[in-house]
Structure 1
C-alpha cells in the first residue's frame, strides 16, 4: 500500500523491524506490532468487564422498573444521546491532539462511572434515576472516547494493516461479548448486579496499563491538525462533497438505529416472552456473541485478501435483515438463541466492512472528524431507536422490534446498495510523493 507523503505510514514493528510481507501476515498480521499487542491485551480484560456491566445494567433497570421495556429503552437512549452532541467535536479533538494521551484520560473516566454505579448498587441505595444519570455520564465519556479510539487504530498498525486490525478488534470485542454475559448472568444470581459493576471498574486497569506501556515513537502518526476556526464545518463539507460516503453513512444509520436493537430486545424477550431470569438473558447474549465472534474471525481471514468490497457490505446487510426477522419469529428460547448465531455472523460482516471501508476512504487529516461523524451515525440514532423499539415491545410483543428492525435493514440495504452500485462504489484516495490516485472498492 502507498504511504502518505510526509507521514509515518511505513510498516514497522519493535525497534524498526519490518513486518512480514502482506501475503504472510494473514489472519493475525496486526499482532506483529508491539503497540497493538499491548492495546489488544488491555482490551480483552476491559471488554469482558464492559459486557458484564451491560447485562447487569439492563437487568438492574428491569428490576427497578418492574420489567418495563420503555424504561430499558430510556436508559439506552440516555447512554447514547451524548453521541448526538459530542462525537463530532471528539473527531476534531482526535485530529488535533495526541490520541494515546487522550485515551488514557477517557478510559479512566469510564472506569469511574462503573465504580460509582457499583457503589450505589452494593450499598442498596440505587434508584432508577441514579442509573439514568450514570447512563448519561457514561454516554458522554463514551461519545468522546469512541471516535478517538477508532481513529487511533491506524496509528498503531499503519494503513496496510488497518483492515486486519479492525477485524481483530471485532474478534476481541465479540470474544468478550461471548464470555462477559455468561459470567454476568451467574454473578447476578449469586452476588447481585452491584459487584458486576465493581468488577468492570477494576477491568479498566487493563487498557490503561496497555496504553501507558506503548512506545510513542513506534506510532504511525500523521501531522496533527493545527487549531483553527471552522474545523468541524470543514469536516462536514468534506463528507458532503463525497456522495459515496454520504450513502454509506445512510446505510449504517438505518441498520444501526433500527436493526442493531439487541440491547433492548434480548432482555425483554428473555424475561417477558420466555419467562426466564438473568441466566436466560445471558444465554441469548452469549449465543449472539458466538455468531459475532465467528463473523469477526471470518473478517480477519478475509482481510489478508485485500480491501473490503462493496458486494460483501451489501450482502452482509441483507443477510442480517433476513436473519433478524427469523430470530424474532422463533417459538422457543433455545431456537431464538440458535438463530442469533448466524445473525451475529451477518452483523459483523456488515459492521467490520463498513468501518474499514470508511477509514480507508478518507485522507489522514480528516480521519478523526470523519470517524466522529461515523460514530454519530452508528450510535447517534439509538436515542430514537431505543424508545421506539421499547414502545413496540410494550404495546405489541417483545418480538416486534426484531421483526421491524429486520425489515428496515433489508430496505436500507437495497436502497443503499442500488445507489452505490450505480455510482460505481466508494472512492479510495491514496497518496504517494504528494500525488493522488483513486481506486474503487
Structure 2
C-alpha cells in the first residue's frame, strides 16, 4: 500500500504542474465544469422561483445534482476502469454540452419547462459524479503522486474562484439576456472543454481482465473496509457532507433574519466562505508538505464546524463574516486532501473504483439538507446551524480511532 507520507516532502511550486501540457488541458476542462455549474445553479434557481414561486422546488433542483453521486458513484468508478478515460471524459463533456444547448434552444423558443431543467440537471449530475474517478484520476496520473497535492490545490482553488464569479455572471446574464443567454454561454464554454479534451495526450492502459462492474465495486468496498486510512477518509467525508456543508444553505436566512442585512449584504456574506477557501487553496499549494496532509484534512473539517458554530451564534455581521472566512480556509484543507489522500493510499489499479466510492460519500449531502431543514423548522435557522456543526464535531470525536491513522 502506498504511503501518503512518503510523497511530496516539500511544497511543489505551481509552475511545476502547469508545465505539464495535459494538466493544463484538464485544468481548463475543470474550469469550464466548475464555472458552468455555479452559473447555471444561480440562473436555474432564479428562473424556477420566478416561474413557480416555490423555495422548496429551488432546493430540490440544487439537490438533484447530488442524486447521481449517491446512486451511481460506485458504479461509475468501476466503469471508469473499463474504458479509456479520455473517451469517458469526452462523453461527460459532450453530454453536458448537449444538455445546455438544448435548454438554450428551448428557452429561445419560449418552450422551457421546469421538467426540462430537472432532466438536464440529472445529466450534469452524472458528469459531476464521474469527475473524481475520471478527470481527477487523470490529474493525478499526469502530474504524479509527488505533485498531487499541488494539482488538487489548483483544482479546488479554481472551483472556489468559480464559486465567487459564477453566481454573479449567472445573475447578470439572466437580467440582461434571459435564461437562454445563460445556457447558450454554457454551451459555448463546453465547446472549449471539448477542444481541450480532444488535445489530451494521456491514455490509460486497459485491464487485461475487466471482470463485472459489480465485482469491482465489491472489491473496492472490501479494500476501503480493510484499509484504515481509506475508511477514515470516507467517514470524515460523510461527516462533512451530512453535518457541515449543508449549513451553508442557511447563510441567506441568517443574514436576513438575524443579522438584518439587505440583499447586497447577504451576497457579500455568502461569498466569504468562497473567498476563504480560495486563499486557503493558494496557501496549501505553496506551503503544504506530505506530513501536513492528514492534519489539513481532519483539522479542516474540525475548524469548519467550529467556525460555523461561531457564525451562527455571533449577533453581528462583521464577526460572523470573519467566521465564514475562516470556515472557508478550513474547508479548503478538507477539499484538497480528500482526493489526494485517497489517490495516495490506494493501489493504482483500484483508484478509480475507490474514487467512485468517495463520490457516493459526497452524494449523501441531501440527507444533511433534510436534517438541517427539520432542525431549522423546529428551533430556528441559527440554532439549527450551530447544532448541526456541533454534531459534526461530536461525530469527529467518535471516529477518532480511524482518522488517527492519517496524522
* TM-score (ref. length: structure 1): 0.80
Return the alpha-carbon distance in structure 2 between the equivalents of residues 231 and 108 of structure 1.
27
CA RMSD, Structure 1 to Structure 2 (Å): 3.0
Partner of 1:150: 136
Contact 2:254/2:382 (8 A) holds in 1 = yes
How many equivalent residue pairs? 399
Partner of 2:168: 182
Q: Which has the higher helix share?
A: 2
Q: State whether structure 2 residue 398 is matched by structure 1 residue 403.
A: no
Partner of 2:68: 82
Matching of residues 194-209 of structure 1 within 5 Å: 194-209=180-195
Return the alpha-carbon distance in structure 1 between the equivalents of residues 58 and 380 of structure 2.
15
**Alpha carbons of 1:125 and 1:405: their partners in 2 closer, same or farther (altered >3 Å)?**
farther
Q: State the SS of the aligned residue for 2:296.
A: helix
Contact 1:87/1:372 (8 A) holds in 2 = yes
Post-superposition Cα deviations, 1:170-213, rounded to whole Å, max 9, x if no partner, equal 11111222222232333333444442233222211222211211
Matching of residues 312-391 of structure 1 within 5 Å: 312-331=296-315, 336-378=320-362, 380-391=363-374
Return the alpha-carbon distance in structure 1 between the equivalents of residues 98 and 266 of structure 2.
26
Q: State whether structure 2 residue 229 is matched by structure 1 residue 240.
A: no
Partner of 1:306: 290
Return the alpha-carbon distance in structure 2 between the equivalents of residues 330 and 51 of structure 1.
28
Contact 2:239/2:396 (8 A) holds in 1 = no
Return the alpha-carbon distance in structure 2 between the equivalents of residues 290 and 169 of structure 1.
15
Q: State the SS of the aligned residue for 1:227.
A: coil
Matching of residues 11-22 of structure 1 within 5 Å: none
Post-superposition Cα deviations, 1:324-370, rounded to whole Å, max 9, x if no partner, equal 12223354666654432211111111221222111100000000000
* TM-score (ref. length: structure 2): 0.86
Q: State the SS of the aligned residue for 1:226.
A: coil
Matching of residues 33-182 of structure 1 within 5 Å: 33-68=20-55, 70-121=56-107, 123-182=109-168
Pairwise CA distance, 1:294: 0.8
Pairwise CA distance, 1:31: 1.3
Pairwise CA distance, 1:60: 2.8
1:31 to 8, 18, 35: 18
Partner of 1:432: none
Return the alpha-carbon distance in structure 2 between the equivalents of residues 24 and 257 of structure 1.
32
Partner of 1:290: 275
Return the alpha-carbon distance in structure 2 between the equivalents of residues 211 and 163 of structure 1.
22
Pairwise CA distance, 1:71: 2.6
Contact 2:229/2:345 (8 A) holds in 1 = no
Partner of 2:241: 256
**Alpha carbons of 1:46 and 1:407: their partners in 2 closer, same or farther (altered >3 Å)?**
same
Pairwise CA distance, 1:107: 1.0
Contact 1:96/1:226 (8 A) holds in 2 = no
Return the alpha-carbon distance in structure 1 between the equivalents of residues 157 and 78 of structure 2.
28
**Alpha carbons of 1:22 and 1:316: their partners in 2 closer, same or farther (altered >3 Å)?**
closer
Return the alpha-carbon distance in structure 1 between the equivalents of residues 131 and 121 of structure 2.
15
**Alpha carbons of 1:161 and 1:413: their partners in 2 closer, same or farther (altered >3 Å)?**
same
Post-superposition Cα deviations, 1:391-439, rounded to whole Å, max 9, x if no partner, equal 4445554435532431232122222335432xxx14xxxxxxxxxxxxx
**Alpha carbons of 1:173 and 1:358: their partners in 2 closer, same or farther (altered >3 Å)?**
same
